[in-house]
Amino acid sequence: MKHLGDAELRRYDDLVLATVYDMDDDEAFSLLFQYMNGNNDQESKLPMTAPVVSRSGEPADPDPEGMMAFMLPSDVKFAEAPKPLDPRAVLELKEGGLFAVMRLSGRAGRVDVQGRTEDLKAELKEADYVMDGRPFLMRYSSPFTSGFMRHNEVAVRVVPGPEKRE
């Protein structure tokens, strides 16, 4: 782990995600919870893992959809993962790599997430790292945790910038 001001660089392995797109948070969470609770082709219950990953839809982006995803336990391989019965949920294998991460306390409202994302982008520019994908939010705390006690992070996959590659 390396620090870039308030940000950290972390290396993550590939991840298996159960994902839904373009749904409001409550509906997306409920559908993913049902999947983890046995609404899948193996009727198997999967333990809840943290964090819950989400991204807001951004109309200006070429890839505008919002998403929410639950990480499957690290011992569940993509090819062996239970398939969702609800077609609105999909299994995805996300490539690991180097990620820049910055902590965000509180309820992680849209304005707070956007502000912290801009902070992260500024740290990356200063340290000569380039985003490789869209930023996303990772929520580690239960929805029942008081706002001031919640642990959230904004993150984005990164690659070294031109000066670092020389």
pLDDT at 113 over 60: yes
Is residue 64 scored above 90 in pLDDT? no
Retrieve residue 119's tokens: 């902070």
Asked whether the predicted pLDDT for residue 62 surpasses 90, the reply is: no
- For 41-64, what is the mean pLDDT? 81
User: Is residue 36 pLDDT above 90, yes or no?
Assistant: yes
Higher-pLDDT residue of 110, 125: 125
Average pLDDT in the 46-56 region?
A: 91
Q: Are 105 and 151 in contact (CB under 8 A)?
A: yes
pTM of the model: 0.88
* Structure token pair of residue 135: 């930023």
3-state SS assignment for residue 118? helix
Write down all domains in the chain, each with its CATH number in brackets.
2-165 (3.20.80.10)
For residues 152 and 113, what is the distance between their CA atoms, to the nearest angstrom?
A: 9
Does pLDDT of 61 surpass 70?
Answer: no
The predicted pLDDT at position 143 comes to 78
Residue 91: pLDDT band with limits 50, 70, 90: very high
Amino acid (one-letter) located at 110:
R
Quick: pLDDT tens for 72-87.
999 999 999 999 999 9
The pLDDT value given to residue 117 = 95
